[in-house]
Amino acid sequence: MQSFRTEIENPIVEKDIIDLANKIELFKNGKVDEEKFRSLRLARGIYGQRQEGVQMIRIKLPYGKVLSKQLKRIADVSDEYSRGRLHITTRQDIQIHYVDIDRTPELWADLEKDNVTLREACGNTVRNVTASETAGIDVKEPFDVSPYADAVFEFFLRNPICQEMGRKFKVSFSASDEDTGLSYMHDLGFIAKIENGIRGFKVMLGGGLGSQPRHADVLYEFLPTDKIIPVMEGVLRIFDRHGERKSRAKARMKFLINDIGLEDFKVLVDEEQAAIENNTVPINVEDYPISVPVTVKAPKIELKNEDAFNNWKSTNLIPQKQEGYVAIGIKVLLGDFYSDKARLLADLVENYAAGELRLTLRQNIVIPFVKEDLVPFFYQELDKLGFAEVGYNKAVDITACPGTDTCNLGIASSTGIAEELERVLKTEYPHYLKNKDLVIKISGCMNACGQHNMANIGFQGMSVRTPDKLVAPALQVLLGGGNLGNGNGVYADKVVKVPSRRGPEALRRILNDFEANANGKQFLDYYLEQGEKYFYNLLTDLSNVTNLTQEDFIDWGTNEAYIKAIGIGECAGVVIDLIATLFLESDEKIDNAKEALGHKVYSNAIYFAYSSMVNSAKALLLSENISTNTQAGIISQFDAEFIESHKIDLGTSFSEVIYQIKTNAPTQAFATRYIENATVFLEKVRAFRTQEQSIVS
């Protein structure tokens, strides 16, 4: 093993980082299965990049809150391990690219010195908990959702119930009925409410984007705040047990809700509460750190261009409920900025605001707690940094994922077309600089990281083939999506597919028609009134691929001929015994269970033991060439193949043994007994596997 050492004070975090370093070495030596290693590194924020031999690192920043010292730390890490570029995502994370995987443990250790983590930023885990970027300052909020988002993040980080799910799980918190956290497109969405003087949330379940977007259902119209963690734990346990694991395309929560049905799923969640340690988890808001703005006298300045300042103020200031303060919105083109500017920005907010920033769902930055008399000074300083562009959260503020720049899954450029569309808006439609009702989003593929299918106008990267089989980059044009508030939204229609080079012309036609005929209506209302066919007829001639020019075969942002390719970027592992790897993992899970038992964390101990038994059963099924799917399916398949046939004797069914987890409260006595069950089960299946191998040999 590597002799890697950290200077981390938290022993749990230190162990995590050292484990990553050891697993990297084991993988390189062919002792860890490639799929298992991929799962492990993704759960630690390490994602294969389109370019071979380098990784994208995703930094998990709950609800987008970043302290000044944390931003400086991230800037330092980007300089040391990458190229100094920071990318804000649509889930309020920061990504850095072109990192050598061998250096990731050291990178992670450096981040943790200022309490910044990579843990569960990617992979089949609970992803970053997002929230309205105005949480805590929003003039319309009934209360600040930040402490609740923070509590959810802390509770489920490293929680064994959500480390190896069939697919990722996304959670959001909205500050008010405006639902700026976009609850309707999340696996779980929480909208702040007060009923009879009690704080709580409207809870949305089973939303999602991707190729088959689904509008979330209302799980609870009102759920008191002390119930959100137990309910979420119940949802995750059911998702872990019954969620699809064979087909990634069907493994999200939205498909499980469709299969089970909302009411039956709710019954399962309610039944699961008997096995959860605490049926209420009060969240102590008083312990949440309060933002304290500095007291400083406004420096005397002389603005060079009063008109430019006033124009910026009209689009980039955000009202704040705290008297005497405003927030400033910084428009960050495509979410990309650099470490030198990041440090200067961190110094600015530390010295003249409250020492914190919020990253936004539209890839921007918000500075809260700016004294009103400091606004001219902030404008001057932000202008020096190139952060004073007008149009924050307005139509010209286009969201786009990295697309073919770095992402494995990108089909066509999203950043290149986004820059061109912003240029078109600024030069040909300058009045849209102040239009907040039109939302444009772009994704490089169907996975919708750019959230294109919930935009008023969306573009999705694709390709088109000419009659003589030439391939050109293309864009699917989507229209009519939007957020209606209070958990309601509408997804955009796929209207027409056009070669990418015709994307700007498609936008011009849409806007020209809208301005000529909408008669004051908002775009979403106008689209719904006219309908998909109307816009199809407006744009369909642009889809003709029989008359493409040479330029049509060159994607935006590049000078090279287009080649449709899904990037590799993932290390090729050595072929090894997957069954042996699974048994070793079962050993590790039992060790983790015993460690948790020793620390009196009985719920974790029980779930580690449960995971070990599922893992062991899966190993034996795979050894018999029996494909596995859900955890519930593994359990029933094991009974059918090994227990009912009397190949293995447990004295009862495997279901009876393992499903004790559903009916027993997490006590010390049950945890101890359940770990013993898992240990005996592993011994029996391992002995059976050894016997079978000896017969074959």
> What integer pLDDT is reported at residue 394 of this predicted model?
92
Find the mean pLDDT for residues 107-132: 96
Q: Which ranges constitute the DSSP H helices of 518-577?
A: 523-530, 532-539
What is the rounded CA–CA span in Å between residue 82 and residue 569? 16
* 589-622 per-position pLDDT tens digit: 999 999 999 999 999 999 999 999 999 999 999 8
127 with 168: CB under 8 angstroms?
yes
Which residues contact residue 397 at a Cβ distance below 8 angstroms, ignoring those fewer than 6 apart? 331, 362, 364, 391
Find the mean pLDDT for residues 128-156: 98
Enumerate the CATH 3.90.480.20 domain ranges in the chain, comma separated. 11-112
What is the rounded CA–CA span in Å between residue 376 and residue 357? 19
Enumerate the CATH 3.30.70.3340 domain ranges in the chain, comma separated. 306-384
Overall CATH class of domain 399-553? alpha beta
> What integer pLDDT is reported at residue 6 of this predicted model?
64
263 with 240: CB under 8 angstroms?
no
458 with 442: CB under 8 angstroms?
yes
253 with 239: CB under 8 angstroms?
yes
The first and second tokens of residue 276, run together, are 């959860």
Which residues contact residue 6 at a Cβ distance below 8 angstroms, ignoring those fewer than 6 apart? 14, 17, 18, 105, 109, 112
From 175, 48, 154, 105, select the one nearest 571 (Cα to Cα).
48
Enumerate the CATH 1.20.120.330 domain ranges in the chain, comma separated. 578-696
Sort residue 664 into left (φ over 0), alpha (ψ -120 to 50) or beta.
beta
> What integer pLDDT is reported at residue 16 of this predicted model?
92
Does pLDDT of 156 surpass 60? Answer: yes
From 413, 460, 463, 464, select the one nearest 440 (Cα to Cα).
460
Find the mean pLDDT for residues 542-553: 94
CATH number assigned to the domain covering 578-696: 1.20.120.330
> What integer pLDDT is reported at residue 4 of this predicted model?
58
CATH number assigned to the domain covering 130-285: 3.30.413.10
SS (H, E, C) 639-661: HHHHHCCCCCCCCCCHHHHHCHH
Q: How many CB atoms lie within 10 A of CB 656?
A: 12
3-state secondary structure of 429: coil
> What integer pLDDT is reported at residue 570 of this predicted model?
33
> What integer pLDDT is reported at residue 404 of this predicted model?
80
Q: Which ranges constitute the DSSP H helices of 211-360?
A: 228-242, 253-260, 262-272, 306-316, 339-352
Which residues contact residue 620 at a Cβ distance below 8 angstroms, ignoring those fewer than 6 apart? 579, 638, 642, 685, 688, 689
Name the DSSP class of 121. S
Does pLDDT of 8 surpass 50? Answer: yes
> What integer pLDDT is reported at residue 696 of this predicted model?
52
3-state secondary structure of 296: coil
Half-sphere exposure of residue 441: CA atoms within 13 angstroms, side-chain side: 28
Q: Tell me how many degrees the CA angle 388-358-138 measures, rounded to the nearest 5.
A: 95
**Range of weakest confidence among 113-122, 131-140, 566-575:** 566-575
From 152, 623, 125, 93, select the one nearest 360 (Cα to Cα).
93
What is the rounded CA–CA span in Å between residue 644 and residue 359? 55
Quote the mean pLDDT of the chain: 92
Does pLDDT of 171 surpass 60? Answer: yes
What is the rounded CA–CA span in Å between residue 484 and residue 487? 8
Q: Which ranges constitute the DSSP H helices of 82-204?
A: 104-112, 146-156
Find the mean pLDDT for residues 421-428: 95
3-state secondary structure of 519: coil
**Range of weakest confidence among 82-86, 258-262, 436-440, 680-684:** 436-440
| 476 beta partners | 460, 497
**Range of weakest confidence among 235-239, 372-376, 387-391, 690-694:** 690-694
What is the rounded CA–CA span in Å between residue 243 and residue 323? 48
What is the rounded CA–CA span in Å between residue 241 and residue 245? 10
Q: Which CATH number fits domain 306-384: 3.30.70.60, 3.30.70.3340, 3.40.50.720, 3.40.50.2300?
A: 3.30.70.3340
* Residue 249 pLDDT class (50, 70, 90 cuts): confident
H or E element that contains 195: strand 188-195
Sheet with strand 94-99: strands edge to edge:
46-48, 55-59, 94-99, 85-88, 336-338
Find the mean pLDDT for residues 487-507: 96
What is the rounded CA–CA span in Å between residue 634 and residue 422? 51
CATH fold group of domain 11-112:
Sulfite Reductase Hemoprotein; domain 2 (3.90.480)
Does pLDDT of 35 surpass 80? Answer: no
Distances in Å between the alpha carbon of 354 and those of 325, 367, 446?
Answer: 11, 8, 39
Phi and psi at 193, nearest 5°, equal -140, 155
Does pLDDT of 109 surpass 90? Answer: yes
* Residue 5 pLDDT class (50, 70, 90 cuts): low
Does pLDDT of 568 surpass 70? Answer: no
Find the mean pLDDT for residues 574-585: 66
110 with 26: CB under 8 angstroms?
no
What is the rounded CA–CA span in Å between residue 688 and residue 693? 9
